C-alpha cells in the first residue's frame, strides 16, 4: 500500500499522474482527474453543466454530470481500450467542476454558460462538457465559434434539433437551427448521425438516418463523417439518445431503432482524422437509468473523446 493513494481528485501532485483509487471509493471526479479551476498548463478540461430546464419530455439531466463522473470510476489506470495508451501520461487533464447557474433565472443561463465556456476555450485547452440537456450546446458552440470561426457540427443524435425558435426560447430542440441561421456552424460541412425523427427544416445538413446506420459498417460511417467535414474545425456533440433505448434507457426522449453502443463506439474510434476543437456528451437522465447502463455508455463516449484528442496530440508531436 506504500505506493497507493486515495482521493486522487484532491491529492494529485501533478496533472499527468495516474490514480490508484479503488473503483468503488475515492472522490468522484471524471476519471479521477484533479479538481481545479487553475487552467495553467492544462491540455484538456472536463466540465459539467447540470441543466435540464430546456427538456421537452422527461427531466433529470441536471444529474447527468454526477452520474457520468461516478460511472467513469470503472476506468482503471491501465492503458485505455481501444487506444492502448495511458491517456494522461502526456496530456494534462483536469476536472473543472460544474458551471454555476441560477436555477431561478433561466433567462440568464445562455449567457452564463457562454461566459464560463469562453474562459476555458480562450485558455487554449480542449473542452469536454458533460450535460445537461442539449440546449447547453448552443452557448458552448458560440464560445468555440468566437475563437475558431464557423464549425463543422458532427452530431450523434436521434433528433435533428432544427425546430424553429425566436432566439429567446430555452429549448433543447432548436439549437442546431439557431446555429445554422447565425453562422455558428457551416451546414455544408456538418453531419447528423442516427436521426430517427423528422423536423420541418434540415438547413442542408447531411443526415445519416438510423435505418441507414443498420446497413453501414462502422468504417463506412466514420469515412462518411470524415469526408463530409473535409478537414474543417469540428465540434463533436453526442446526445446519448443516438443509441437505442436498449443501450441508453436513461434519457429524456428515447427513440427506438437506434444503433448499439458497440457500433457507435467503433465509429468514434475511427474519427482521429477529425480536427475536433471541442466536444460534449448530453441528455443522460439518471432517474430513468437502470444499473448505470446509460451513465456507463456516456462515460465511455466521453473517454473516447479524450482518447481521440490524445491521439491527435501524439500524431502532431511526431509529425
Cis preceding-peptide flag for 82 (omega within 30 of 0): yes
Give the separation between CA 282 and CA 272, rounded to whole angstroms. Answer: 21
Contact 94, 35 (CB under 8 A): yes
Whether 159 has a binding-site annotation, put simply, is yes
Q: What does DSSP say about strands 275-282 and 233-239: parallel, antiparallel, or unpaired?
A: parallel
User: Which of 173, 232, 238, 172 is CA-nearest to residue 201?
Assistant: 173
Whether 134 has a binding-site annotation, put simply, is yes
User: Which of 183, 185, 208, 192 is CA-nearest to residue 160?
Assistant: 192
Question: How crowded is the C-beta side of 180, counted as CA atoms within 13 Å?
Answer: 22
Give the separation between CA 234 and CA 273, rounded to whole angstroms. Answer: 11
Provide the 3-class DSSP secondary structure of residue 191.
strand
To the nearest 10°, report the CA torsion of 131, 305, 128, 193. Answer: -50
**Binding-site residue positions for Mn(2+):** 134, 157, 159, 161, 239, 241
**Binding-site residue positions:** 134, 157, 159, 161, 239, 241
Amino acid at each position: 500500500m506504500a505506493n497507493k493513494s486515495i482521493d486522487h481528485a484532491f491529492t494529485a501532485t501533478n496533472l499527468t499522474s495516474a490514480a490508484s483509487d479503488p473503483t468503488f471509493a475515492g472522490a468522484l471526479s471524471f476519471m479521477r482527474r484533479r479538481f481545479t479551476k487553475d487552467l495553467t498548463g492544462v491540455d484538456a478540461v472536463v466540465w459539467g453543466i447540470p441543466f435540464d430546464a430546456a427538456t421537452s419530455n422527461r427531466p433529470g439531466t441536471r444529474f447527468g454530470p454526477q452520474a457520468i463522473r461516478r460511472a467513469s470510476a470503472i476506468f482503471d489506470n491501465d492503458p485505455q481500450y481501444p487506444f492502448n495508451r495511458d491517456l494522461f501520461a502526456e496530456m494534462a487533464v483536469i476536472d473543472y467542476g460544474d458551471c454555476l447557474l441560477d436555477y431561478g433565472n433561466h433567462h440568464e443561463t445562455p449567457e452564463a454558460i457562454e461566459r464560463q465556456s469562453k474562459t476555458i476555450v480562450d485558455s487554449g485547452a480542449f473542452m469536454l462538457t458533460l450535460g445537461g440537456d442539449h440546449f447547453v450546446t448552443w452557448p458552448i458552440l458560440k464560445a468555440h465559434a468566437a475563437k475558431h470561426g464557423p464549425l463543422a457540427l458532427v452530431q450523434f443524435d436521434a433528433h435533428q434539433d432544427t425546430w424553429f425558435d425566436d432566439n429567446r426560447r430555452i429549448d433543447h430542440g432548436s439549437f442546431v437551427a439557431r446555429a445554422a441561421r447565425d453562422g455558428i456552424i457551416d451546414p455544408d460541412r456538418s453531419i447528423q448521425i442516427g436521426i430517427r425523427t423528422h423536423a420541418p427544416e434540415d438547413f442542408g445538413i447531411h443526415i445519416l438516418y438510423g435505418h441507414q446506420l443498420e446497413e453501414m459498417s462502422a468504417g463506412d460511417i466514420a469515412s462518411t463523417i470524415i469526408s463530409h467535414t473535409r478537414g474543417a474545425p469540428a465540434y463533436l456533440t453526442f446526445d446519448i439518445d443516438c443509441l437505442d433505448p436498449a443501450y441508453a434507457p436513461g434519457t429524456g426522449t428515447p427513440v427506438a431503432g437506434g444503433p448499439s453502443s458497440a457500433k457507435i463506439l467503433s465509429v468514434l474510434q475511427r474519427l482521429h482524422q477529425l480536427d475536433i476543437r471541442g466536444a460534449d456528451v448530453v441528455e443522460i437522465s439518471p432517474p430513468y437509468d437502470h444499473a448505470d447502463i446509460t451513465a456507463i455508455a456516456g462515460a465511455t463516449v466521453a473517454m473516447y473523446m479524450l482518447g481521440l484528442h490524445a491521439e491527435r496530440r501524439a500524431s502532431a508531436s511526431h509529425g
